[in-house]
Amino acid sequence: MSPRKPLGLERSPAFTYHQPTSRIPFRKPPRVLRAEEVSLAALAEQYGTPLYVYSATAIQQRLATFDAAFSTIPHTVCYAVKANSNLSLLRMMAKLGCGFDIVSGGELERVLRAHKKAAKKVVFSGVGKTVEEMKFALDSGILLFNVESESELWALATCAARMKKTARIALRVNPEVAAETHPYISTGMREHKFGIPMSDARVLYSRAAGIKGIEIAGVSVHIGSQITDPEPFRLAMSRVTDLVNYLQAEGHTIRFVDAGGGLGISYEDTPSSDPTEFAKYVQSYAERVLQPLRGLGVHLLLEPGRVLVGPAGALVTRVLYRKQHDGKLFLIVDAAMNDLIRPALYKAHHAITPVTLADDVPSEVADVVGPVCETGDFLARDRSLPKCEEASLLAILDAGAYGMAQSGNYNTRPRPAEVMVEGKKAKLVRKRETMDDLMGLEE
């Protein structure tokens, strides 16, 4: 059985198959997967594998679509740096007018290196901010601290008072909204470490109002990640709106509502690559978020990450060996769980497709596994793929978010290089690590 052109395994405009012109009559050459207008095979030849490849155009288009969906209300898109923190990507986001959502001092340093004046659009989230990180953020003049506990509030107030500065804050409230997602990335319930219970928030806002060095400016919420049903966002924002109305009636100035992020993407083998469908999806999300907020007179902060960069990235890997084991086929590739941990950590599905694909290749079922010495080192299990020979290339799709950002050096493996493509141009935006890089800090 011959596979047909895999439209579902394309991510237009990021990754699409190109049919080269045949030089031999009646013979169709294999299709080649391209990042925009650049062959992934050519990039693998030039930069080696494993290799992360990103489409600048796809990111730009998704950001424009997201921004347009919220055009009816004052808003700032604060890109979630944790999704992909490459400096070139952050620089591009800043030039496009983005703010940034950070969760560490290191991420703030990245943002400032990408764009010196970006701090005024930075929102600092996270449950474990250190005093040193607070000082850094105060010195940098960030837009907003999302405070996640009473203890953090007192620590921030003390820090700001000693520095004779004012910390602009929103309390991150926990709206008790359940969202259908992986339990490791669900954040909106009382059993999670994030946020302040709604029942405690009113009292804490009253206490914060009299603290030197603290300026109450907003309310923040985030219910989780990889949520594809927009309805939980509407419910969460309805509860936030009730709180804002109460706080404003009590005399608090609430200028910002931070709706968080969490809008998911499809990781299946056949998601729609039609930009119109994506626009409808984002518009549906925007309608749910905006409906409760109309008339509040607030500036909306949004923290998308995965939905902007996920489908714009792929991890290119080479098949090292084919291995049969009692009737089970393993494709051993040079990418591993240290390069893309999502399958091992979340049992996440990533579509995989050959970089070069001919019409007459039969399909086979295989586990795609890496060289790391762990049984959990797999990228796919029992996956139907066109037959792949040793030395052939595979593209692991939808790897632009939480791919390189969660990578590591287990088994003393250097992390991959990263390349950004725009049109016909490809730029190396992170060099492949060397052994000197890995061991340079050791004695």
Type of residue found at 381:
R
Domain assignments of the chain as residue spans, ordered by start: 7-55+311-439, 125-304
Look-up of token digits 């890997």: 317
Separation between Cα atoms, residue 190 and residue 195, nearest integer Å:
9
Say whether 88 sits in a helix, a strand or coil. Answer: helix
For the stretch 187-196, pLDDT in tens is 444 555 568 9
Q: Percent of the chain beyond pLDDT 70? A: 92
How high is the mean pLDDT of the chain? 92
Between the alpha carbon of residue 422 and those of residues 137, 263, 419, the distances in Å are 33, 25, 10
Separation between Cα atoms, residue 81 and residue 66, nearest integer Å:
16
Query: Would residue 98 show up in a list of annotated catalytic residues for this protein?
Result: no
pLDDT at 5 over 50: no
pLDDT at 396 over 60: yes
The CATH homologous superfamily of the domain defined by 125-304? Alanine racemase (3.20.20.10)
Question: What pLDDT shows up at residue 225?
Answer: 85
Dihedral sign (CA 394, 399, 404, 407): negative
Separation between Cα atoms, residue 134 and residue 148, nearest integer Å:
13
For the stretch 267-287, pLDDT in tens is 986 666 677 899 999 999 999
DSSP character for 375?
A: T
Judge if 7-55+311-439 and 125-304 fold alike in CATH terms.
no
> Are 345 and 412 spatial neighbours (Cβ–Cβ below 8 Å)?
no
Question: What pLDDT shows up at residue 210?
Answer: 84
> Are 301 and 122 spatial neighbours (Cβ–Cβ below 8 Å)?
no
> Are 371 and 336 spatial neighbours (Cβ–Cβ below 8 Å)?
yes
Helix, strand, coil distribution of the chain in percent, nearest 5: 35, 25, 40
> Are 142 and 124 spatial neighbours (Cβ–Cβ below 8 Å)?
yes
Q: What's the topology of domain 7-55+311-439?
A: Lyase, Ornithine Decarboxylase; Chain A, domain 1 (2.40.37)
> Residue 256: which pLDDT band, with cuts at 50, 70 and 90?
very high
Catalytic residue among 78, 159, 373, 388: 373
Report which of 124, 230, 249 is spatially closest to residue 179, judged by C-alpha positions: 230
For the stretch 368-390, pLDDT in tens is 999 999 999 999 999 999 999 99
Question: What pLDDT shows up at residue 185?
Answer: 42
For the stretch 314-362, pLDDT in tens is 999 999 999 998 989 999 999 999 999 999 998 999 999 999 998 889 9
Question: What pLDDT shows up at residue 359?
Answer: 84
CB neighbour list of residue 266: distance below 8 Å, 6 or more residues apart: 228, 272
Report which of 256, 258, 259, 260 is spatially closest to residue 299, judged by C-alpha positions: 256
pLDDT at 6 over 80: no
